[in-house]
Amino acid sequence: MRIDEPNMYGAIATIRNGEATLRWTRMQVFLFFNSFAIPILSRQELDIGTKFSISAVGFAMTLIWFLVTVRAQQLMKFWDNSLRRLELIDFNQTDPQKSQPRLLIFSSRQYQILSNEWVSFHFVLQGIPAVATLVWAFFLGNYFYLLYL
């Protein structure tokens, strides 16, 4: 790495880690929303119109949650690729023996394999809002049927 590149690497790594922290925060907020909103639907004293409205809001919120989770994963890949490109700046493709990169984390083969496995954390993070969206869609469809059909 050249003179300013360690600072750039540190800044990009900090942004990437901040995005990872935001993913956790978003997950907790939306799980909190679902943990109190779904039990409200089981209350007998609520009329069907209110349950339909709660279901519509729940469906919209979880759909937004899913889309934000997908976008966050795209940002994580962008920052990972930026760090990988910085790691490989000194790497000479024509003569790899003469110039080895000093740091191989995001550009290492092992990291690439681990980050692209099916049983990785980001697939779980995308699966939870996808399932929650389907649950809310079921509630929405059910209350729509009871209210309008």
**pLDDT tens readout for residues 57-67:** 999 999 999 99
The residues, ordered by sequence, that sit 6+ positions from 90 with a Cβ below 8 Å of its Cβ are 1, 99, 100, 101, 102
In eight-state DSSP terms, residue 107 is T
Confidence of residue 21 (pLDDT cuts 50, 70, 90): very high
For the cut 90, the answer to whether the pLDDT of residue 130 exceeds it is: yes
> Is the C-alpha dihedral spanning 119, 124, 130, 133 positive or negative?
positive
Collapse the DSSP code of 93 into the 3-class scheme (helix H, G, I; strand E, B; otherwise coil) and give the result.
Answer: coil
Q: Which amino acid is at 73?
A: Q
pLDDT tens by residue, 102-115: 677 888 888 888 87
Please give the helix or strand (H or E) that residue 119 lies within, else none: none
Whole-number pLDDT of residue 16 = 93
> What's the whole-model pTM score?
0.81
